[in-house]
Amino acid sequence: MIREVVDARTVRMDGAAAWEMLGKAAKITVVKGKTVSSLKPKQDGKEAILKQVMGPSGNLRAPALRVGDECVVGFHADFYKQWLQGK
């Protein structure tokens, strides 16, 4: 069930707002092109994670999803197809 949808074109998330969401996650998956990285806030730390998830404009890259205690940032169709099959 989708509880909230935020349009990234109108609502920007800077580093502080992004960390507010991502810092609570158990796992963060970052998708850049075909590269997929798994990060854990307690192990990888705020700076390393924000470096991966923030775009050149200084805002959280889109799309960014929070599903339970997991966050996914970025897009690649093959990744999403595989990821959604596991949900």
3-state secondary structure of 66: strand
Q: What's the pLDDT score for residue 1?
A: 63
> How many domains are contained in the chain?
1
- Domain range enclosing 52: 15-85
Q: What's the pLDDT score for residue 2?
A: 66
Q: Does 9 reside within a domain?
A: no
Q: Does 66 reside within a domain?
A: yes
Q: Give yes or no for residue 86 having a pLDDT over 90.
A: no
Segment 13-67, tens digit of pLDDT: 999 999 999 999 999 999 998 899 999 999 999 999 999 999 999 999 989 998 8
Q: Does 33 reside within a domain?
A: yes
Contacts of 27 (CB under 8 A, 6+ apart): 38, 39, 40, 69, 70, 71
